[in-house]
Structure 1
Amino acid sequence: MRTQLNVTLLAPGIMIEGNVILDHGLSLFGIVDGNLIANEGLLHIGQGGLVKGQVEGEHVRIDGTVEGDLHARGSLEVNGRVKGNIYYCGTIRLGPSASLEGQLKRVSRELVIEDTASRADDTSNVQQLPRTLAI
C-alpha cells in the first residue's frame, strides 16, 4: 500500500492577505499576512518566506521569518527568525542561524478550554481537548 503525500507549494512572489488553513503540508516561499495553520504534515517556511501572524502545525521547519507566535505539536526546527513566543510539544532543534525574539515554552499535548458560559458562576467546569484541534 502506497501512502500519498499532499504538500502545497507557495512560490516566491505570492502574497496572501488572510488566514491559510490546510489539512496537509505546506512549503511557503512567499508572504502570508495572516495566520497559517497546517493540521497535518510538514509546515515549512522556506528562505525568503514570511508569515505575519500565528503559525501552527504538526511538524514545523522555519528557514524564513515568522512574526507571531509559533505552535508545533510534533517536531520543530528553527534555522530562520521568529519574532514571537514558541510553544512546542515534541522535539525542538535550533540551528546555528536561528534568531528568536520571544519566549520558548514546552506545553503538554492537551489544551484546556474553559466553558465561558458557566465561568462566571462556576470555574470548575473545564473541558480538556486533544491538542490536535486547531483553534
Structure 2
Amino acid sequence: MKGQPTRNVTLLSPGAAIEGNIILDHGVSLFGIVGGNMIAQTGLLHVGPGGLVQGHVDGDHVRIDGTVEGDVYARASLEINGRVKGNIRYCGTIRLGPSASLEGQLKRVARELTIETESSAMPEASNVQQISRAAGG
C-alpha cells in the first residue's frame, strides 16, 4: 500500500544451516541452525520451534520457541517458550511460558542512553558529562 512502511522479515527455513553472524536491520524468523550471533536492529527476532542459535541473540523484540546456546539481549520485550543456555538481559517486559528452560542468569537492565544532536558536531565535553551525571553515570 502506498504510504505504508515496508515491513521486512527474513525467514530461515528448517534445513538451513548458516555458519557465521547474521546482522539484520529488520525482523527474522529462524527454524534452522545458526552457528554464530543473530542481531536484529528492529522488529521481531524469532527463534522458532526446532531453531538453534549457537551464539548470542540481540534484538528489540525477542521470542524464543527453539534453543539458544548463548547470551540473550532484548531491548523491548522478551518471550521464552524454549530453551536458553546463557545469560539473559532485558530492558522491557518478559514472559516465560510453561515450557521455558533457563540455564544462566536473568537480569533486567536500564535502557541505554542515546545522545542525539541537531548538528553534525559533537556536543561539548561538559554537556556529555552533565548528561552522564543525570543518567546516574
TM-score with structure 2 length normalisation?
Answer: 0.80
Aligned to 2:51: 49
- 1:122 aligns with none
The Cα shift of 1:50 comes to 0.1
Indicate yes or no: 2:110 matched with 1:108. yes
Structure 1 residue runs of 4 or more that deviate by more than 6 Å after TM superposition: none
Render the CA deviation track for 1:20-39: whole Å, top value 9, x for unaligned.
00000000000000000000
Give CA-to-partner distance per residue, 1:19-77, whole Å, 9 cap, x none: 00000000000000000000000000000000000100000000000000000000000
Counterpart of 1:110 in 2: which secondary structure?
coil
TM-score of the aligned structures, taking structure 1 as reference length: 0.81
Measured in 1, the distance between the counterparts of 2:106 and 2:17 equals 28
Q: Tell me which of 57, 60, 63 is aligned to 1:61.
A: 63
Unaligned runs of 5+ in 1: 112-124, 129-135
Distance 1:82 1:52 in 2: 10
- The alignment partner of 1:5 has SS state of coil
Inter-partner Cα distance in structure 1 for 2:38 and 2:111: 19
Q: What is the aligned partner in structure 2 of residue 16 from structure 1?
A: 18
- Per-residue deviation at 1:110? 1.2
* 2:61 aligned counterpart, secondary structure: strand
Length, aligned pairs only: 115
Q: Secondary structure at the match of 1:75?
A: strand
Q: Name the one with the larger strand percent.
A: 1
Deviation at 1:3, TM superposition (A): 2.7
1:79 equivalent in structure 2? 81
2:91 is aligned to 89
Alpha-carbon separation, structure 2, partners of 1:109 and 1:2: 28
Q: Distance in 2 between matches of 1:8 and 1:110?
A: 26
